[in-house]
Chain A
C-alpha cells in the first residue's frame, strides 16, 4: 500500500508540474467568470445560469484533464523508457498501475475542489448564500471523472495516446447518448436499429445516469435510492475497467 502511495504522490507531483494542467485549470476558471457575464446578459434567473454554466464547466474541464493526462499515463512511461527503472524496483505491476491511477485521480479531485470553490464564491457574491445543494450534482461528476479516467488508463496500457484520446472521447460521447438513442429507437418499428441501440446501451457505460445537473439547478428532488444506485453503478464500472487494465498490463512484455 505504501508503494502505491509513493507512486500516486509522484504522479500527482508530475501533473501539478505539468503546464497542461495549469492551462486547463486557468481556462476553467475563466469559464466560471464568463458565466457571470452570461448571467447578466440573459433574461431570467441569473443565479440558475451561473450554477448551470459552472457545473457544466466543472464537468467539461474535468473530462478534458482526465482524457489529456490519463491517455498518456502508462504509454508515456513506456515511450520515454522511464518504466524500466521504476518496474525494476521491488514493486508489482498492479501497484504501478494503481499508483498512477490514484495520483491522477487525486489531481482531478483538486481540480474539482478549486472549481467548486470558485463557483461557490460566485454564487455567494450574487445571492449571499452558499449553494450546498450543488454537491448532489458535483459528487456524481466526480464519479463520472473517475470512470472516464479508468477508461483512459485502460486504453493507455495498449494503444498510443492519440488513439486512446479518440477512443476515450468516443466512450464519453456515446456514454451520454446511448439512453437517448435507446428511447428514440424504441418508438420506431425497426428491429435492426433496436438491436444496435441495445448493443450500444449495454456495452458502453451509461453516463447520463450520473447527470443530475439540470435537476439540481432547478431544485427538483432527487430520490436517494436513484442517487446511490447511480454512484454504485459508476463505482462498479470503474473497478471493472481498472481490473481489465491491470490484467492487460500484467500480460505485457515491457520491451
Chain B
C-alpha cells in the first residue's frame, strides 16, 4: 500500500477555557488520511475542529494524544518543507509589499535567490497581482490578501496544500481563479486538503469530502460516486393537474403556465405522469434529481442530532 500524503491517527486535543478552566474538546480521537494527489474537502460547522486539525498538523498546536505524519514521516519542521498553508483570513506583515512578502516566505523555506526571482513573478501572474507587486499590503483589499496568501503557500512549489477557507473574501471571479489554481495543483500531482462552507465548490473540485462535527470525524464520502448514484427525488413539470388531484402536496412551485411537482420514487412518478396525461394535462419535463452535497451534509447533521 502506498503511503498517505497526510495521516492523522487518534488525535485528541482538549482546551481549557475561561477563568475556571472549563474543558472544551476540540478534537476527539480524530483519524483521517489524505491520499497522494487527491483533493479532500474538509467540512463541518463553525467550531467543529477544522482549523484545529490544520494547526495540529502544522505543529502550531500540540495534541494531547495521537500521531500525525506527512508522507510517512512525523509532521515536524522538516516535513513542513513539503507543505504550503493558507490560514483562514490570512494576516501578513502590512509594511511589506506583495513581492517582499513572497521573497520573505521563500527565504524562510530555504529558497535560493535565483529560484525566488524565477518563481515569484510566475506566482504573481498566477494570482493576478502583477499590477500590485510593489504595493504595500496595508493597501490590499481582503480578496487581494487571500490571493497573496495562496501565492505564499505555493512559493516553494510544495507537494501538499492545506487551505483554510480559501474562497472566503473572494469575488466570483476570484473564486473561479482560486478553483482553477486548486485544480491546477491536482493536475501537477499535489495533494490538497481544504475547508469550506461553500459546498458547491467542494462538489466541483473534490475527490472526497470529510465531515467533522464536535471534533469527531463523522463521515467520508466519495463525492463523484455520491453525485452519480444517489437519486434524491424525481421532478415533473406539467402544464396542469387533474381536478381534485391527490398531488396537491407534491407541488413545489406553480406559475401561470407550469407546475413543478416532486416525488420520491420512480414508480410513483410514472403513475403521476399517467394521471396527468389522462386528465388532458401535458408533461413538459420529467427526470431524477441527484443528491447534492448540501443535502447530504444537512442530512448527516440531522442524523447526528
Name A's B-contacting residues (CB within 8 A): 2-3, 6-7, 10, 13-14, 17-18, 80-82, 84-92, 253-255
CB-contact partner of A17 in B61, B77, B95, under 8 A: B95
- Provide the bound-state CA to CA distance between A61 and B266, in Å: 83
Q: A253-B61, A254-B55 are in contact. Are A90 and B91 (CB under 8 A)?
A: no
Q: Which residue of B lies closest to A99 (CB)?
A: B108
Interface residues of B in 11-64 (CB under 8 A from A): 15, 55, 58-62
Which residues of B are found within 8 Å of A253, using beta-carbon distances?
A: 15, 60-62
Q: A88-B60, A90-B77 are in contact. Are A3 and B108 (CB under 8 A)?
A: yes
Interface residues of B in 86-140 (CB under 8 A from A): 87, 89-93, 95-96, 104-105, 107-110
Which residues of A are found within 8 Å of B58, using beta-carbon distances?
A: 87-88
Contact in complex: A255, B80 (CB < 8 Å)? no
Q: Which residue of A lies closest to B104 (CB)?
A: A10
User: CB of B78 within 8 A of chain A?
Assistant: yes
Which residues of B are found within 8 Å of A82, using beta-carbon distances?
A: 91-93
Contact in complex: B60, A89 (CB < 8 Å)? no
- Provide the bound-state CA to CA distance between A185 and B152, in Å: 60
- Provide the bound-state CA to CA distance between A255 and B61, in Å: 7
Contact in complex: B95, A90 (CB < 8 Å)? no
Q: How far is the CB of B69 from chain A (nearest CB, A)?
A: 16
- Provide the bound-state CA to CA distance between A7 and B107, in Å: 9
Q: How far is the CB of A8 from chain B (nearest CB, A)?
A: 12
Contact in complex: B91, A85 (CB < 8 Å)? yes
Q: How far is the CB of A252 from chain B (nearest CB, A)?
A: 9
Which residues of A are found within 8 Å of B80, using beta-carbon distances?
A: 88-90
- Provide the bound-state CA to CA distance between A221 and B163, in Å: 64
Q: Which residue of A lies closest to B155 (CB)?
A: A89
Which residues of B are found within 8 Å of A254, using beta-carbon distances?
A: 55, 60-61
Q: Which residue of B lies closest to A255 (CB)?
A: B61
The CB with the most chain B CB atoms within 10 A, among A18, A84, A87, is that of A84
- Provide the bound-state CA to CA distance between A253 and B77, in Å: 16
CB-contact partner of A85 in B62, B77, B83, B90, under 8 A: B90
Q: How far is the CB of A218 from chain B (nearest CB, A)?
A: 44
User: CB of B81 within 8 A of chain A?
Assistant: yes
Which residues of A are found within 8 Å of B109, using beta-carbon distances?
A: 89-90
Contact in complex: A255, B15 (CB < 8 Å)? yes
- Provide the bound-state CA to CA distance between A86 and B85, in Å: 10
Contact in complex: A89, B55 (CB < 8 Å)? no
Q: How far is the CB of B147 from chain A (nearest CB, A)?
A: 14
Q: Which residue of A lies closest to B58 (CB)?
A: A88
Which residues of B are found within 8 Å of A3, using beta-carbon distances?
A: 107-108, 110
- Provide the bound-state CA to CA distance between A112 and B105, in Å: 31
Which residues of A are found within 8 Å of B95, using beta-carbon distances?
A: 13-14, 17-18
Contact in complex: B60, A81 (CB < 8 Å)? no
**What are 19 A-to-B residue pairs whose CB atoms are below 8 Å?**
A3-B110, A6-B104, A10-B93, A13-B95, A81-B89, A82-B92, A82-B93, A84-B55, A85-B87, A85-B105, A85-B152, A86-B108, A88-B85, A88-B87, A89-B109, A90-B80, A91-B108, A253-B15, A255-B15
- Provide the bound-state CA to CA distance between A84 and B58, in Å: 9
Contact in complex: B55, A90 (CB < 8 Å)? no
Q: How far is the CB of A35 from chain B (nearest CB, A)?
A: 33
The 10 A-B pairs at the shortest CB distance, nearest first, are namely: A88-B85, A254-B60, A89-B108, A81-B91, A90-B80, A6-B107, A90-B81, A84-B87, A253-B61, A17-B95
Which residues of A are found within 8 Å of B81, using beta-carbon distances?
A: 90
Which residues of B are found within 8 Å of A18, using beta-carbon distances?
A: 95
Q: How far is the CB of A9 from chain B (nearest CB, A)?
A: 9
- Provide the bound-state CA to CA distance between A141 and B152, in Å: 40
Q: How far is the CB of A45 from chain B (nearest CB, A)?
A: 45
CB-contact partner of B105 in A2, A14, A17, A89, under 8 A: A89
